[in-house]
Structure 1
Amino acid sequence: MRVPSRSSGRQSGPGVVPAAPVRRLPGPSPVRPSPTRPSPTEPDLAAYRAAVAELLVEVGALADAPSTAARQLLLDQRLREPAITAVLDATPQGFLGARETLLLEMARYQPNARSSAGDLTALVRIYLLSRIDVMWWRDTPIFSTDAQVNSSIDLVDLEWLRRRDLLQFRYQEQPANVLGRGLRAVRRRLFPAATPHTAGLMFRRARREVVALLNDIGREFASATPPGTPPLWVTSLVRSAEHQYRLRSLGYAAMVPSGHCLGYAADVEMTWFQRFGVRDVLADLLLARQAAGEINVVDEGQAWHLCLAPAARLRLRRSYEAEMGV
């Protein structure tokens, strides 16, 4: 099957607000640009993904340690291809900043069991494809601190929605203390395949548009899979930049800047669904939405990273309001 790289609070805190939105987004629904005919003011993302896929083949051939100089020369040449330069230049860092960040990420790379980047090729894939997220939302302020995530009126409490049966996906929170982590470990030993092997959400909060997107995907996934298949499982949502740096210090491939810190990204479990024979079904659903211009998809191994496209934001905000009856 195709993969994206080749085709293209834990507590809600005192600031938690109920699910009803603070304000509606006015105006008519925008016309979506054709995925095969990009807007003249936006880079051609199909060409960008194709160029990245070609670059990854060459990086894979130079993955050994003695090839450091050859890899840097390769990147210097290939990143200057118009399709790649157009995207990198449209990110907040600009072309030079994005290039230097990628080279630093590669120089510092150390494989470990926690990182979604199993090798240098995966690191380059994750970094370059995730630049689409930050290009899309380049004018959106990030959530810098945990406190900002917990108090933002632009985010809703997932637990409030879950208790009212308004979510079409599942998640679990990170344990809050040593006792919670111990109980989680015991459950995993007793029932190792009952849930995905993931740390869970640090913040159980999300933008309304992202909730609507995940509910849409969850319904579509449930309709396309046999009875008894578990619902869509979300492993990560909004993160603060503060938490992103904590993850980096632990060895995770947490890119900076990131769509998670903007609140428009989510990670969904993939590997666990292999035991139910439906991983490819979910992958095809996600790639179809990418082809329609609704999301960006990055294969990160066990989970796939999704980021909402700005063109789909208003439709999904209205979908959320209609679904929640507000």
Structure 2
Amino acid sequence: MRVPSRSPGHQSGPPVTPARRRPRGSVRPLTAAPPDLEAYREAVAELLVEVGALAQAASTNARQVLIDQRLREPAIAKVLEATSQGLIGARETLLLEMARYQPNARSSAGDLAALVRIYLLSRVDVMWWRDASTFLTDTEVHHSTELVDLEWLRRRDLLRFRYTEQPRTVVGRGVRAVRRRMLPDATPRTAGLLFRRARREVVALLNDIGREFAAATPAGTPPLWVTSLVRSAEHQYRLRRLGYAAMVPSGHCLGWAADVEMEWFGRFGVRDTLAGLLLSRQRAGEINVVDEGQAWHICLAPSATLRLRRAYEAEMGI
């Protein structure tokens, strides 16, 4: 969710679309046949090859022509038209992202092709949840009754995944820095969660994946690790100003997305196992998956929410 400014200092994005006054998480049913997501992902993959071939700075005009042409192809256009921005809005946002792109160590978009991949694949989230209301501020996230406190669940051994919180003080950041120097591979290198809150359905999904991952990997393999969950739009723009590839709009700001650590599990030889589990769920239509390098972004499909809400209530004895 991002569109940095051309100026070297402040970076900003397009204004957040005002939240519609519908129940959070509700989604307007599609009036026509839903887009073919397999065809969409295949078309995006083909586009990425062409973007990579035009990566030089001198190819700016050629890239714009390419984007203009390819986004209008039916396999891609049908998905983008179904988002809250529509095809034209999505096209303009992508072109701005590409024009203002500056690679940096914080961004999951290591090059222009990665930026295009992250943006376009994450539009599936936006299409699915186009009528859901955005968590605009940090205060909304902290006080929403639609979200549950992960720490309360963790202390009762009700989570099948791990996470860490962002240190809130200078002392806390210092302690983490010392721990990383002494035990550099003990945990993933992640800033941690600013908000240790999540939707009940997302908790059930991550617990489900966590159990499946534990069953498919050797004894001693660390549990599933989650690096990001719900974010406010306010925080999303902070991330953009810091140089992260935080797209706008985003499933994170709707509460339906999470980021799962991948790279760290390579040292245990189980990264491909986790990737297979996630892609299998994507093929089943339960989640959308975006490869962001160190972590993979996943977003829950509306069609899976009822089953997962019931699963959460069953697990919690509600």
Deviation at 1:244, TM superposition (A): 0.1
Are 2:81 and 1:81 equivalent residues in the alignment? no
In structure 1, distance between residues paired with 2:230 and 2:33? 28
* Correspondence for 2:285: 293
SS of the equivalent of 1:233 reads strand
Query: How big is each residue's C-alpha offset from its partner over 1:234-284, in whole Å with a ceiling of 9 and x where there is no partner?
Result: 000000000000000000000010000000000000000000000000000
In structure 2, distance between residues paired with 1:245 and 1:67? 29
* Correspondence for 2:64: 72
* Correspondence for 1:153: 145
Are 2:131 and 1:139 equivalent residues in the alignment? yes
- The structure-2 alpha-carbon separation of the partners of 1:39 and 1:89, relative to structure 1 and needing over 3 Å to count, comes to closer
The aligned amino acid for 2:102 is Q
* Correspondence for 1:91: 83
Query: How big is each residue's C-alpha offset from its partner over 1:182-225, in whole Å with a ceiling of 9 and x where there is no partner?
Result: 10000000000000000000100000000000000000000000
Are 2:307 and 1:315 equivalent residues in the alignment? yes
Deviation at 1:89, TM superposition (A): 0.6
* Correspondence for 2:168: 176
- The structure-2 alpha-carbon separation of the partners of 1:215 and 1:305, relative to structure 1 and needing over 3 Å to count, comes to same
* Correspondence for 1:57: 49
In structure 1, distance between residues paired with 2:131 and 2:116? 24
The aligned amino acid for 1:278 is V
Match for residue 187 of structure 1 among 166, 179, 182: 179
- The structure-2 alpha-carbon separation of the partners of 1:292 and 1:40, relative to structure 1 and needing over 3 Å to count, comes to farther
The aligned amino acid for 1:293 is G
Equivalent residues in 2 for 1:205-224, closer than 5 Å: 205-224=197-216
The aligned amino acid for 1:53 is A
The aligned amino acid for 1:206 is A
SS of the equivalent of 2:67 reads helix
Equivalent residues in 2 for 1:275-286, closer than 5 Å: 275-286=267-278
SS of the equivalent of 1:304 reads strand
**Structure 1, gaps ≥5 residues long:** 1-24, 26-37
SS of the equivalent of 2:191 reads coil
* Correspondence for 2:259: 267
Are 2:237 and 1:245 equivalent residues in the alignment? yes
SS of the equivalent of 1:306 reads strand
**Structure 2, gaps ≥5 residues long:** 1-24
In structure 1, distance between residues paired with 2:144 and 2:31? 32
Moved over 3 A (4+): none
In structure 2, distance between residues paired with 1:218 and 1:291? 18
The aligned amino acid for 2:273 is V
In structure 1, distance between residues paired with 2:260 and 2:102? 24
The aligned amino acid for 2:106 is R
* Correspondence for 1:197: 189
The normalised TM-score by structure 1 is 0.88
Deviation at 1:41, TM superposition (A): 2.5
Deviation at 1:40, TM superposition (A): 5.2
Deviation at 1:42, TM superposition (A): 1.1
In structure 2, distance between residues paired with 1:111 and 1:201? 24
% of aligned pairs identical? 80
* Correspondence for 2:19: none
